[in-house]
Amino acid sequence: MESAQSSDSCIICNKPNALRCNRCKSASYCSKLCQRGDFLVHKLLCSSFSAFDVSKRPTKQHVEPEDEYDRRYQSPNARPFLNDHGREVPIQFNAVLARRLLDAVCVSYRDTFLVDGSAPNSSVATITTTQPGYHHHWCGPIIAYGKVGSDFDPEECRDIDMHDFRHVADYFMSYGTDLISVPSSPPMNCVKVKGVRINCLGDQKMFNKPHFEEIELSTTSIIFRSHETSDITKRIGIPIYTKRCFPHPNWANAKDAEMFGNESPYNNQDATFLHLCIDPEAKEDFSRGFLGWSWAPSQWQQDVGSTIVVRQDKKPLLPWHAEALCSYCRYHARDCLAHTIGEYAPDKPMSKSLALSMICRPTFSIWWYRMCREQRDKGKIVDAKIPYDE
């Protein structure tokens, strides 16, 4: 896990000795790239933050009396805004940036806002529209404030800064999205599973990441509890779990057509083809993004982003395994499915059952050894065994 944030480290990538924003002097960036990554969120508050009237702030003595455990809690008087149904959520981890926070930021909101007639919160909507994809429908007043430390229940308040604003924004943007963040390495002393991160165009081009990247996850990782699966790899005897990752802010909004060759930085065709539907009984359900036989569901077609893949049996999945599985789905299985829907006319479309009979363990074995041979012919070494042997 990356280390915690300190105020002079880059808000986006956490590199130390970053430079402060010229205007608000509150957010730090290591580079133009990271500054640009934060820009759409930062610009919403930079100017008004730099014009804060500090003379009107409450004094340090603004504390509540000691409670029965001799603790003096400082908390903003949020009650008039929250209709007595307030919920305080301490943010101690930024899921988008995969980073633990040194000091917590709290947000308080009406916990009944979806049913009590609260008006949509247009400020939060402005924040969440800086990133494509599904976003929670935030309503009613929302109050954010800083706390000292990131214990379970911090007592003391502190001034909020533009780094906190980034964390609050990421909280709103990531809430309810079911995406995963990947710490650079799982905590020590835990059982680890080798998996693969299939990097989307944005992560490949902007961070020079390999297409198929070896990663380690702990057995307690969320992917083992909440995930999607691949029909095709299950059918050939290698069931996997898949999960999409949070888009990195540095490319999430990049319209840098040159760097991405006029494609979307979210583009991840390999992950798309891994999720082709091969259930012959599958019904289309457009409201749920489900397009039926031979198609990947809509969340695997647009704004896909990088994707984590692990084996369900927790045996190691190596980059070369993932590459072979993706290539098999993309160039073998996809062609069989395309034939059934008439893409090889004038040839009469083959039946779904014939296509299914061609998507099986033996054809994957043939595919695997052919790929290995092609690599060797190019002088490359393949040091992975066929995944059935692992």
Binding site for Zn ion (CB under 5 A): 10, 12-13, 15, 21, 23-24, 30, 34, 46
Q: How far is the CB of 144 from Zn ion (least distance, A)?
A: 17
Short-list 223, 218, 149, CA closest to 184? 218
* Both tokens assigned to 338: 């395309």
Q: Report the alpha-carbon distance of residue 390 to residue 388 in Å, rounded.
A: 6
Q: How far is the CB of 37 from Zn ion (least distance, A)?
A: 8
User: Judged by CB, which is closer to Zn ion: 15, or 315?
Assistant: 15
Contact present, 260 and 202 (Cβ < 8 Å): yes
User: Judged by CB, which is closer to Zn ion: 25, or 370?
Assistant: 25
User: Judged by CB, which is closer to Zn ion: 10, or 41?
Assistant: 10
User: Judged by CB, which is closer to Zn ion: 46, or 326?
Assistant: 46
DSSP assignment of 5-59? P-TTS-TTT--SSPEEPTTTS--EESSHHHHHHHHHHHTTTHHHHHT--GGGSPP
CB atoms under 10 Å from CB of 203, counted, come to 25
Q: How far is the CB of 258 from Zn ion (least distance, A)?
A: 21
User: Judged by CB, which is closer to Zn ion: 99, or 243?
Assistant: 99
3-class DSSP state of 309: strand
Q: Report the alpha-carbon distance of residue 138 to residue 134 in Å, rounded.
A: 12
User: Judged by CB, which is closer to Zn ion: 37, or 319?
Assistant: 37
Q: Report the alpha-carbon distance of residue 165 to residue 215 in Å, rounded.
A: 30
* End-to-end CA gap in the chain: 28
User: Judged by CB, which is closer to Zn ion: 9, or 118?
Assistant: 9
Q: How far is the CB of 34 from Zn ion (least distance, A)?
A: 3
Q: How far is the CB of 77 from Zn ion (least distance, A)?
A: 28
User: Judged by CB, which is closer to Zn ion: 46, or 337?
Assistant: 46
* Both tokens assigned to 170: 């990421």
* Helix residue ranges, H only, 105-161: 122-128
Q: How far is the CB of 13 from Zn ion (least distance, A)?
A: 3
Q: How far is the CB of 12 from Zn ion (least distance, A)?
A: 5
Q: Report the alpha-carbon distance of residue 145 to residue 45 in Å, rounded.
A: 15
User: Judged by CB, which is closer to Zn ion: 49, or 364?
Assistant: 49
User: Judged by CB, which is closer to Zn ion: 25, or 85?
Assistant: 25
Name, in order, each residue with C-beta under 8 angstroms of 107's C-beta and a sequence gap of 6 or more: 88, 89, 91, 142, 143, 144, 168, 171
Angle between helices 32-42 and 162-174 (to 10 degrees): 70
Question: For tokens 């308040």, what's the residue?
Answer: 157
Output DSSP code: residue 222: G
Contact present, 208 and 123 (Cβ < 8 Å): no
Q: How far is the CB of 343 from Zn ion (least distance, A)?
A: 45
Q: How far is the CB of 20 from Zn ion (least distance, A)?
A: 8
Q: How far is the CB of 19 from Zn ion (least distance, A)?
A: 10
Contact present, 197 and 210 (Cβ < 8 Å): no
Q: Report the alpha-carbon distance of residue 118 to residue 96 in Å, rounded.
A: 27
